[in-house]
Chain A
Amino acid sequence: MEEPKIVKVNDRKGIQATIAAILGVLVLFVGVSIVGSPIKSFRTPESSISFAVAMYLPILIVCVLVLRRTKNAQ
């Protein structure tokens, strides 16, 4: 099994901020879907938001992997 990459403490905040921004993109566009209209193909806000989260699943997995790989830096 591959060893987790050890990221310097100085870098950790940068990588955490990156993950925050990536998750922020999801929050922003789910927010737009809630405040505005759902995606046309889905018609209801709930199905539209479910789609957005589902499409983001690969990225959410990447985020978890990134945080696991960087936690050893503490």
Chain B
Amino acid sequence: MNSLVPLLAEIGAVLLAIVMLYAGFRRYGRVKTLIFFAGSILWTAPIENIGVVTGSYTYYGFAGLFLTEYPGYLFWVGLVPLWIELGWFVVALSSFIVVHEVILPKRRAVVQAVASGLLAVNMDAVIDPVASSNELWVWLAPSIYVLGVPAYNWVGWFLLVFFYDIAFEHTVLDYRPLKGLSAIEKLLFKGNVVSSESKIIRFAFRLVVLSIVVTLLLILVQAAMMPFSYIKVG
């Protein structure tokens, strides 16, 4: 295994994240882009860490590469390298901008979120087979495997981008109540929803609630695929 691979991936993800931060600053301004960025970390870090803790995958394929103590990557958020979150941010924000600003502007948020989710899954169809073949991460869980990647991973990408897209659109860009959450939000939050501080708090709250929903859905999908784990495609 080439020792340049993890460094290349880590540095590449950081550079692409800088390009996407610039793109976001130009289109949405600094505050909203930084909310998107911070929200990406808050959104993906717990779910990714749960994936590692439950034995779905590991990021320690390159542990001990340069030094015995070296964990394989430079920067970590818990058990997950920071560049994984940065990569998710790049895919999610680029899908968001392309769909919301150019391909499907002024369409229903659900339609835009579906399109963003599909675009992100398409990008991951390149990322994941290359990354897992090079042990940037190693899949461990029994499942239906397509090109060396568990099929529930594609479902996970779609769900994560779909829900994040709706949450950002309807909290930060254009505030709207979300079905099922509006009653709780009325009890928890009072005051002006237009201010940046209020939007940040409400966005964080919605992400926490939605991440529980996504995690439960992913556990169900993963469990449903387990009996068919003998199926390997590609």
A32 touches B19 (CB 8 A): no
Encode B1-38 as 1/0 by CB contact (under 8 A) with A: 11011001100110110011011111100000000000
Contact of B147 with A by CB under 8 A? yes
Which of B126-134, B151-159, B161-169 is near enough to bind chain A? B126-134
In the assembled complex, how far is the CB of residue A38 from the closest CB belonging to chain B, in whole angstroms? Answer: 7
B19 touches A20 (CB 8 A): yes
A14 touches B8 (CB 8 A): no
Provide the bound-state CA to CA distance between A32 and B13, in Å. Answer: 12
A15 touches B133 (CB 8 A): no
In the assembled complex, how far is the CB of residue B40 from the closest CB belonging to chain A, in whole angstroms? Answer: 14
Interface centre among A17, A18, A20, A32 (most CB of B within 10 A): A18
> Can you list 13 residue pairs at the A/B interface with Cβ under 8 Å?
A10-B26, A15-B97, A17-B26, A18-B20, A18-B27, A21-B94, A28-B8, A28-B12, A32-B8, A32-B131, A40-B129, A51-B129, A59-B123
Provide the bound-state CA to CA distance between A14 and B29, in Å. Answer: 10
Contact of B119 with A by CB under 8 A? yes
A56 nearest in chain B by CB position: B126
Residues of chain B contacted by A35 (CB below 8 angstroms):
2, 4-5, 8
- Residues of A within 8 Å of B, CB-based: how many? 41
A31 nearest in chain B by CB position: B8
Chain A interface residues (CB < 8 Å from chain B): 5, 7, 10-11, 13-15, 17-22, 24-26, 28-33, 35-41, 48, 51-52, 55-56, 58-59, 62, 65-66, 69-70
B24 touches A22 (CB 8 A): no
Contact of B125 with A by CB under 8 A? yes
- Residues of B within 8 Å of A, CB-based: how many? 43
Answer whether A25 and B136 are a contact pair too, CB < 8 Å, given A35-B5, A62-B103: no
Residues of chain A contacted by B182 (CB below 8 angstroms):
none
Residues of chain A contacted by B148 (CB below 8 angstroms):
39-41
Provide the bound-state CA to CA distance between A72 and B10, in Å. Answer: 36
A15 touches B90 (CB 8 A): no
Chain B interface residues (CB < 8 Å from chain A): 1-2, 4-5, 8-9, 12-13, 15-16, 19-20, 22-27, 90-91, 93-94, 97-98, 101-103, 105, 119, 122-123, 125-127, 129-131, 133-134, 136, 147-148, 234
Provide the bound-state CA to CA distance between A33 and B12, in Å. Answer: 14
Residues of chain B contacted by A66 (CB below 8 angstroms):
98, 102-103
B20 touches A59 (CB 8 A): no
Additional pairs, 6, CB under 8 Å, beyond known A13-B26, A30-B130:
A22-B123, A25-B123, A29-B126, A32-B131, A35-B8, A52-B130
- Pick the residue among A18, A33, A58 that contacts B122 (CB under 8 A): A58
